[in-house]
Structure 1
Amino acid sequence: MIFRKLMIGMPAAALAVAPAMAMAHPSGNQDHEPILTRPIGDNPDNYWYDYLTDIREAEHELKKDLRRATDEEDRRDALEEYRAEIADANKDYKKEMRERGYHVGRVTVGK
């Protein structure tokens, strides 16, 4: 809660951090859902800051879990948990934005 209150007063700084977060994956690979680098509708509201917090927490947990891993199974479990947390954060954020009238979708061009 304190982190969220601090971030509300500095949206430009938070937006500058987001692209760096999306590029700095602790696992070294990117076999998970893409991490958003800017808020939907360019609206940096509390839901956006919650999303950023969820992503940071997932990355922190992954780093911690990988440091403690003793075998390949531990590493796979850590990465699976990370992928699930990223997917959940994306789902929750996109759902909130849809409920507020922002369209979240994908455009496909082709046959």
Structure 2
Amino acid sequence: MKQTTIFRAAALALAVAPVTAIAVVPTMYEEKAARAEEDRIIRSPIGGIEGKHWFNYRANVNETQKELSSDLRHASDIEDQRDAWEEYGTELRHERGTYVKAMAKRGYRVPTVYIENL
């Protein structure tokens, strides 16, 4: 009786294992590109200046993130998902560029670190 139970459990485990491996969905190119843009979101104000440009930038980034979640929720197929991720990455890039340019006009630059001789 115990051997039958063990064999059934082993058979079940073997039957479930391949299904789990197939369920893994590869990440879309558009999502990877958008995630890279997401990593470039400026976390603190350039030059420590918390002015209207900084608050506009943060508000626009938050709005873009909410729009992405809404677009993904309403996506009916993979093309809609791709469009949502592509739009998200494009908007993040645009918002960052707008903020950096506005601060550059005021004389502040985005800090950059260069590491040599690696």
TM over 0.5: yes
Paired amino acid for 1:72: I
Amino acid at match of 2:42: L
Deviation at 1:78, TM superposition (A): 0.2
Name the structure 2 match of 1:37. Answer: 43
Aligned partner (choices 82, 89, 93) of residue 83 of structure 1: 89
Deviation at 1:30, TM superposition (A): 2.2
Partner of 1:71: 77
Residue 55 (structure 1) aligned with residue 61 (structure 2): yes
The Cα of 1:104 is off from its aligned counterpart by: 2.1
The runs of at least 4 aligned residues of structure 1 exceeding 3 Å deviation read none
Q: Which runs of 5+ in 2 are unaligned?
A: 1-30
RMSD: 1.7
Q: Which one of 89, 101, 111 corresponds to residue 107 of structure 2?
A: 101
Alpha-carbon deviation of 1:71?
Answer: 1.1
Residue deviations 1:8-51 (CA, integer Å, cap 9, x gap): xxxxxxxxxxxxxxxxxxx7x72325111110011100000000
Once residues 32 and 55 of structure 1 are traced to their aligned partners in structure 2, the CA distance between those partners, rounded to angstroms, is: 11
Distance apart, 1:83 and its partner CA = 0.2
| Aligned positions, number | 84
More helix by share: 2
Higher RCO (CA-CA < 8 Å; seq separation 6+): 2
Task: Provide the C-alpha distance between the structure 1 equivalents of 2:78 and 2:46, rounded to a whole number of angstroms.
Answer: 37
- TM-score (normalizing by structure 1): 0.69
Tell me, in whole angstroms, the C-alpha distance in 2 between the residues paired with 1:40 and 1:31.
20
Which structure 1 segments of 5+ residues have no match? 1-26
Distance, in Å, in 1 between the alignment partners of 2:102 and 2:75 is 35
Q: Paired residue for 1:12?
A: none
